[in-house]
A and B are shown apart, each in its own frame.
Chain A
Amino acid sequence: MTSPGIQVEAVGLLTGWGAGVAALPASAHDAAAGRASILLPRPPLDGERFRRATRECLLGVAAVEAMLADGGLSRESIRGTGTALIFVTAAAYGASNVEWLAGRAGTLHFPYTAPSVLPGEVAIEFGLTGPYVILIGGPTATVDGLWQAGRLIMNGQCERALVLAVETFEECEALWRRARWTVPGPLVESTTCVLLGPGDVRPVFHPVSADAALGDEVQTRAGCTLACAPLVALALARAADRDTALVGGAWRGRAAAIELAVAGQPARL
């Protein structure tokens, strides 16, 4: 069934500062106290199925769990072909790639070097079998992902969509230090998941937006979270009980933004 618009139903947010918006400091720069990156530890997810899974995969699973908790939703509510999964990252594949290149990982680690395996683990864990898109890039890619998610819902190709972003830096910190002129610190590891559902308000997509101020609050409070930044902004908007949010950012010379409706808490499907 088609829908005239979409809205944000729930947001899960975990950063190196802790869980949720409440854990974000007033100033990430001050809170970092000179540290180049802020680690988000491996989530304590047990079980045979996760014995080989990388930290990044488990962070993706943890973000979806946090989103479900935020929306008061059950796992069953997102299972099946009705839920699209859009995954975005600029760098979360770096850790597994470095492991493989260094020869420290065994044969069964190799598939984890593919960026698609992180959302693959998430899809397996929650039984997500709907439309599936994986984008690589910073906040602009997340804006593209939100646009695509909205399109899928409004065209009736799915009933809801998860937009998931994960960023880790720890294992590649030396490389990021070399490229520090491209990313303002501190680098803050993050995992965020937004649930989008049908709504009355059409999103407005600005693929070439010059509004650099969009990311300022996220950068100030959370630090540099790359692809997670627009979703952190949605979490901030939801916490502030705003009806709409214009979120976006800049990455590698390009800027983009999207304006979305945000449901009040607690949201229900």
Chain B
Amino acid sequence: MRPSSGSTSSTCGAQPLPPEPVAIVAAGVVTPIGLDLDAFWSGLLAGADGLSVIERFATDDLKIRRGGEIKKLPAVAQAVRSRAAALLVAAATDLAARASLEAEPARIAVIVGTALGGVEELDHALTLDPTPRRALDGLYDSPAQALATWLGACGPVLTVSSACASGATSLGLGADLLRDDVVDLVVAGGYDVLCRFVMRGFDALRSLARERVRPFDRRRTGLLLGEAAGLVLLARERDVRGPRLGRLLGHGSASDASHIAAPDAHGRGLESAIRAALAAGGVSVDDLEFVSAHGTGTVLNDRIETAVLKRVLGARAGAVPVNSIKGAIGHTMGAAATLEAIMCLLAARDGWVPPTVGYEEADADCDLDYVPGACRALRPRRMLSTSLGFGGCNAALVLEGAA
């Protein structure tokens, strides 16, 4: 990395030059199918199923008792008081093993996305532990603060909570901080914990799959929740000397303004976010070779997302592979978009695209190439990742492999 400038102020608006390329130097994860990046990736390629009966909290009163639970955290995370912070520390440990975080501490930013933040700690604060520290743990930005402390990062610490699109927006904001020369390094990503709070909610809404998660499949009945953390190290392309995973070319977001919990029936917000990401990255839709879809496995999401992708990709829609990894690890909420971006870059690195686990039978409303069955030999160069969330949140990332 280049030496830090030490600057603590930045004048916004050096654009509209072409956006400065931002490198995704390395990644670290902890997931239900693997406690580090290598295990996660080999699990995705093998079509692993990380969904299991939940053991960590009571589910007796719930209709659905399965999810993507991490059964045992890595040792480094086991002493961390909050499980949300523990997931971040585990992913950061994996990241730190793959890349150096050398920069002046004030020039390192931490930006993480989450749908649930420290809500499990709020539960503990209300019922089990009356100490002041536990009360603060319940704030949604506490896990990000804990991660920054663990990393020794003294720059901006941001928590994004665009529901299940958070892990995409966090990467986008990180790239913006770099482009404005506010910082030299950004640790960005997303996380969420599988806890009783959220299981009760989705169970009551009857959004959970009765059996397995089947994104885009005719028999799909819903999603299953999972827990995970995914982090990437971002730096300005010109500052990176060693290998990198790829580049974040553009990001976009948009509001549906139509419903608080369901996607817009026509997917207008998602389409706006995709087009904004492509425009921001200066990328033509004709250059896209692979799409990592949100693909929750709910009837509505998958149909709407397919329709949007067909509008955006046009005549090429049937020729561009689209996958969802939620059949393998569940819907990891704030972590999902980051993990999916990482998956895209690993596909570009290794020349293999993971299958959509659970997809078997075609649906007339979902008629794209969803990479059924097994991983496919393909080395996409430019890729799109899409995300949606409660509150009408939509986000999209345009990525490029390093090769």
Is the pairing of A and B real? yes
* Cβ of B75 under 8 Å from chain A: no
Q: Looking at the complex, which of A22-30, A66-74, A114-122 is the stretch in contact with chain B?
A: A114-122
Q: Specify which of A102, A148, A206 is in contact with B8 (CB 8 Å cutoff).
A: A206
B residues within 8 A CB of A115? 117, 140, 161, 391
* Cβ of B300 under 8 Å from chain A: no
Q: Considering the chains assembled together, what is the distance between the CA atoms of A107 and B202 in angstroms?
A: 9
* Cβ of B3 under 8 Å from chain A: no
Majority DSSP secondary structure for residues of B touching A = mixed
* Cβ of A31 under 8 Å from chain B: no
Determine whether the beta carbon of A204 is less than 8 Å from that of B391.
no
* Cβ of B119 under 8 Å from chain A: yes
Determine whether the beta carbon of B12 is less than 8 Å from that of A131.
no
Interfacial residues of chain A within 72-127, with CB under 8 A of chain B in the complex: 81, 85, 90-91, 93-94, 97-98, 100-102, 107, 110-121, 123-124, 126-127
Question: Nearest chain B CB to A15's CB is how many angstroms away?
Answer: 21
B residues within 8 A CB of A140? 156-157
B residues within 8 A CB of A121? 260
Q: Considering the chains assembled together, what is the distance between the CA atoms of A203 and B11 in angstroms?
A: 6
* Cβ of A165 under 8 Å from chain B: no
Known A129-B269, A131-B276; contact A124-B15, beta-carbon cutoff 8 A: no
Q: Considering the chains assembled together, what is the distance between the CA atoms of A64 and B312 in angstroms?
A: 33
Determine whether the beta carbon of A114 is less than 8 Å from that of B12.
no
* Cβ of A130 under 8 Å from chain B: yes
Interfacial residues of chain B within 97-144, with CB under 8 A of chain A in the complex: 106, 109, 115, 117, 119, 122-123, 125-127, 130-132, 135-136, 138-141
A residues within 8 A CB of B258? 124
Question: Nearest chain A CB to B192's CB is how many angstroms away?
Answer: 11
* Cβ of B252 under 8 Å from chain A: yes
Determine whether the beta carbon of B391 is less than 8 Å from that of A81.
no
Known A90-B139, A101-B123, A136-B140; contact A129-B12, beta-carbon cutoff 8 A: no
Known A114-B390, A150-B13; contact A135-B159, beta-carbon cutoff 8 A: yes
Closest to B122 in A: A97
Q: Considering the chains assembled together, what is the distance between the CA atoms of A117 and B162 in angstroms?
A: 9
Closest to B182 in A: A207
A residues within 8 A CB of B136? 179, 182
Q: Considering the chains assembled together, what is the distance between the CA atoms of A4 and B117 in angstroms?
A: 36
* Cβ of B389 under 8 Å from chain A: yes
Known A129-B255, A148-B176; contact A120-B391, beta-carbon cutoff 8 A: yes
* Cβ of A189 under 8 Å from chain B: no
The 8 A CB mask of A187-218 against B (1 = contact, 0 = none) is 00000000000000011111111000000000
Q: Looking at the complex, which of A37-45, A154-162, A235-243, A261-269 is the stretch in contact with chain B?
A: A154-162
Q: Specify which of A113, A134, A151 is in contact with B13 (CB 8 Å cutoff).
A: A151
Q: Considering the chains assembled together, what is the distance between the CA atoms of A203 and B9 in angstroms?
A: 10
* Cβ of B315 under 8 Å from chain A: no
Determine whether the beta carbon of B173 is less than 8 Å from that of A111.
no
Question: Nearest chain B CB to A129's CB is how many angstroms away?
Answer: 5
B residues within 8 A CB of A10? none
Closest to A257 in B: B9
Residue of A98, A132, A134, A150 contacting most chain B CB atoms (<10 Å) = A132
Determine whether the beta carbon of B161 is less than 8 Å from that of A116.
yes
B residues within 8 A CB of A63? none
Q: Specify which of B11, B115, B260 is in contact with A204 (CB 8 Å cutoff).
A: B11
* Cβ of A128 under 8 Å from chain B: yes
A residues within 8 A CB of B13? 3-5, 150-151, 154-155, 202-203
Q: Considering the chains assembled together, what is the distance between the CA atoms of A209 and B135 in angstroms?
A: 27
Q: Considering the chains assembled together, what is the distance between the CA atoms of A154 and B296 in angstroms?
A: 35
Determine whether the beta carbon of A107 is less than 8 Å from that of B205.
yes
Q: Considering the chains assembled together, what is the distance between the CA atoms of A208 and B108 in angstroms?
A: 11
Q: Specify which of B12, B131, B201 is in contact with A110 (CB 8 Å cutoff).
A: B201
Q: Specify which of A100, A120, A144, A179 is in contact with B156 (CB 8 Å cutoff).
A: A144
B residues within 8 A CB of A137? 141, 157-159
Q: Specify which of A128, A129, A133, A207 is in contact with B268 (CB 8 Å cutoff).
A: A129
Determine whether the beta carbon of A256 is less than 8 Å from that of B156.
yes
Determine whether the beta carbon of A156 is less than 8 Å from that of B260.
no
B residues within 8 A CB of A256? 156
* Cβ of A141 under 8 Å from chain B: yes
Q: Considering the chains assembled together, what is the distance between the CA atoms of A115 and B182 in angstroms?
A: 27
Additional 17 contacts, C-beta under 8 A, given A94-B122, A97-B197, A207-B183: A4-B13, A90-B141, A100-B200, A111-B201, A113-B119, A114-B389, A115-B117, A132-B393, A135-B158, A136-B161, A137-B157, A154-B13, A157-B252, A157-B276, A175-B138, A182-B136, A209-B8
Query: Could you pull out 5 A-B pairs where Cβ atoms are within 8 angstroms?
Result: A111-B260, A118-B391, A151-B12, A175-B125, A176-B135
The 3 A-B pairs of least Cβ separation, nearest first, read A116-B391, A120-B391, A110-B201
Residues of chain B whose beta carbon lies under 8 Å from any beta carbon of chain A: 8-13, 15-16, 106, 109, 115, 117, 119, 122-123, 125-127, 130-132, 135-136, 138-141, 145, 154-163, 166, 169, 173, 176, 180, 182-183, 197, 200-202, 204-205, 252-261, 268-269, 272, 276, 280, 389-394
